[in-house]
Amino acid sequence: IDQNVTIHRTFGLVFYSCVFIIGVIVNMTALWVFALTTKRRSSVTIYMINVALVDLTFILMLPFRMVYLQRDFWPFGDLLCRVSATLNVFYPCIALWLFGLISADRYLAIVQPKQSKELRNVPKTVVACLGAWLMTLAATASLLFSADDPDGVANFTTCLKTVDFIYLRHNGPVNFTWIAFFFLLPICIMIGCYVVIVDNLIRGRASKLKPKVKQKSIRIIITLIVQVLVCFVPFHVCLLLHLLGLDKNEAFRKWAVFSTFLMNLSNVLDIILYYSVSKEFQERVFSVILYRNYQRSVRRKSRHTSSMRSISNVTSGMI
**What tens digit of pLDDT does each residue of 60-101 get?**
989 988 888 888 888 888 888 888 888 888 999 999 999 999
Average pLDDT over residues 104-128: 86
Whether 3 shows a pLDDT value over 80: the answer reads: no
Please give the domain boundaries of the chain with CATH numbers for all domains.
2-301 (1.20.1070.10)
Query: Measured between alpha carbons, how far is 84 from 91 in angstroms, rounded to an integer?
Result: 10
Q: Which pLDDT belongs to residue 98?
A: 95
- Burial label, 211 (beta-carbon count in 10 A; 0-12, 13-18, 19+): exposed
Distance between CA 67 and CA 70 in Å, rounded?
Answer: 5
Q: Give the residue-averaged pLDDT of 98-111.
A: 90
Residue type, 283: E
Predicted pLDDT of residue 301: 55
Confidence bin at 317 (pLDDT 50/70/90): very low
Q: How is the chain split among helix, strand and coil, in percent rounded to 5?
A: 85, 0, 15
Q: Supply the pLDDT for residue 314.
A: 41
- pLDDT at site 254: 78
